[in-house]
Structure 1
Amino acid sequence: MPNVLVVEDESAIAELIAINLRHAGFEVTLAETADQAQAAIDAVLPDLALLDWMLPGQSGVALARRWRGESRTRELPIIMLTARADEADKVAGLDAGADDYLTKPFSTQELLARIRAVLRRRLPEALDSAVEVGGLRLDPSTRRVSRAGVDIKLGPTEFRLLHFFMTHPERVHSRAQLLDRVWGDHVFIEERTVDVHVKRLREALLPAQCSHMIETVRGAGYRLTQQLTASAA
């Protein structure tokens, strides 16, 4: 579960961002000032920082420059959040080392899309690593899925869905969370679409005798489990 450090001195905005990020499956750490942000970074290096331009004391731009200048934080993905829409300000933020720039007000979907895009660019090796759960193996680099020598043929959406399940095993994911994490920017897709693709995924897993690994949790959503007692409802 990626950890995002949100550095924002307006508490209402910070809490709104935190709620939406947690709903989307991220862990969130909040900081209101540059000093608090630095203390959080010193304690635990996050996977990404959302950094407001205007902060009490040291500015977000100065903080970004500081992080880019230190070996421990040089590769930290940074997205600048600001009310400044001028091109010169955007250039200044990017020159300071930001990976992306988001002007307030922004939508939750756009924020999540930017975060995912930056993480993909910064951490491609993690997204391309093969993963194995309960003998089921998925290799993103070759797009192959197999279990006990049986190759499993999946469509692109079912592949992404299984990849997400396998990288977050034993956790229950709501339909809304799956739409956000697997479909991403397609905000007009209905939640029932998830059910259709889960059904297709289970059917594809049948030849390898592992369709039971995709479990329905009534009233909550779906999860991938290795438990032998699991059964698709």
Structure 2
Amino acid sequence: MHIAILEDDADQRDFLAACLRPLGSVISDFASVAELQRALKGERFDLFIIDWRLPEVSGLAFIPQLRRQLGWEVPVLMITAARSEQDVVAALEAGADDFLPKPLRPDELRARVQALTRRFLRQAVASIRTLGPYRVDGERRSVLLEEQPVALTDREYALASLFMDHAGELFSRGQLLELVWGIRGDVTTRTVDTHVSRLRRKLELDGRHGWRLRSVYQHGYRLELQHEAS
């Protein structure tokens, strides 16, 4: 998961990054809206953490702009020293998905980020998407290969949907446990390996259809386009 932090205070940026590193996420931090806007031209983020008070443009004013650019598919967590009910309402009405007052508590911050990520995963795909010969039907929770349905368990479907919606992105085993099994899932990383191996076999994600579900040594798994040898 790639998290963007928009916070003008350098100490706060370092603190936020330190709190979130145990989640295994990639962290990119920005001191101003202008810096983040430049990054958005070439990078994709899975979650935004935005401070209310920023130089030039406030976080509260920036969130509606971000929604116009990216829509509602990426969760936004707003942080601020303000904590009144009116402030919470203003943040949510501006387009934030959640709100945390300062001073931030590391465990609560991580829990909120994980909860937003799970919610995003559940809501991200309700329509039909295609990836080469694969078609993912979110409403029926099914995957078709060359128009033929493939029998998948609920866990296997969740894994397939996640990889296909984020093709090219690397997921650690810990991230897969959190996103597919939930942070309290009583399973081991070997269970992840077993499910991924079974999914690779069932969907023939070995390169023969153009896509390979690859194991990245000591890191996790990534669904990537299999380039033909020249």
TM-score (norm 2): 0.67
Asked if 2 retains the 8 angstrom alpha-carbon contact of 1:64 and 1:78, the reply is no
Asked if 2 retains the 8 angstrom alpha-carbon contact of 1:174 and 1:220, the reply is yes
- Map residues 52-91 of structure 1 onto 2, 5 A cutoff: 52-55=51-54, 57=55, 60=58, 63-65=59-61, 68=64, 72=68, 75=71, 78-91=76-89
Could you give the per-residue CA deviations for residues 88-108 of structure 1, whole angstroms, max 9, x where no partner exists?
432343344433212322332
Distance 1:227 1:95, change over 3 A: closer
Show the counterpart of 2:209.
none
What is the rounded CA distance, in whole Å, between the counterparts of 2:225 and 2:66 in structure 1? 42
Out of 134, 156, 159, the residue aligned to residue 157 of structure 2 is 159
| Partner amino acid, structure 1, of 2:33 | A
Out of 192, 205, 224, the residue aligned to residue 190 of structure 2 is 192
Show the counterpart of 1:111.
113
Asked if 1 retains the 8 angstrom alpha-carbon contact of 2:4 and 2:30, the reply is yes
Secondary structure of the corresponding residue to residue 142 of structure 1: coil
- Map residues 27-46 of structure 1 onto 2, 5 A cutoff: 28-31=28-31, 36-38=32-34, 40-41=36-37, 44=40
What is the rounded CA distance, in whole Å, between the counterparts of 1:169 and 1:150 in structure 2? 21
How many percent identity over aligned positions?
30
| Displacement after TM superposition at 1:150 (Å) | 3.3
* Alignment length (residue pairs): 213
Cα RMSD over matched residues?
Answer: 4.1
Q: Does 1:132 align with 2:131?
A: yes
What is the rounded CA distance, in whole Å, between the counterparts of 1:44 and 1:82 in structure 2? 23
Unpaired runs of at least 5, structure 1: none
Secondary structure of the corresponding residue to residue 130 of structure 1: strand
Asked if 2 retains the 8 angstrom alpha-carbon contact of 1:165 and 1:224, the reply is yes
Distance 1:211 1:59, change over 3 A: closer
Asked if 2 retains the 8 angstrom alpha-carbon contact of 1:102 and 1:111, the reply is no
What is the rounded CA distance, in whole Å, between the counterparts of 1:130 and 1:73 in structure 2? 21
| Displacement after TM superposition at 1:152 (Å) | 0.7
What is the rounded CA distance, in whole Å, between the counterparts of 1:149 and 1:6 in structure 2? 41
Could you give the per-residue CA deviations for residues 133-161 of structure 1, whole angstroms, max 9, x where no partner exists?
4x333222332212234321111111010
Distance 1:215 1:71, change over 3 A: closer
Could you give the per-residue CA deviations for residues 161-212 of structure 1, whole angstroms, max 9, x where no partner exists?
0112223335543212322343454476432331232244245x0xx6x153
Secondary structure of the corresponding residue to residue 171 of structure 2: coil
Distance 1:111 1:132, change over 3 A: same
Show the counterpart of 2:177.
179
Could you give the per-residue CA deviations for residues 104-137 of structure 1, whole angstroms, max 9, x where no partner exists?
223324223225536876xx5x66341224x333
Asked if 2 retains the 8 angstrom alpha-carbon contact of 1:24 and 1:180, the reply is no
| Partner amino acid, structure 2, of 1:15 | D
Unpaired runs of at least 5, structure 2: 207-211
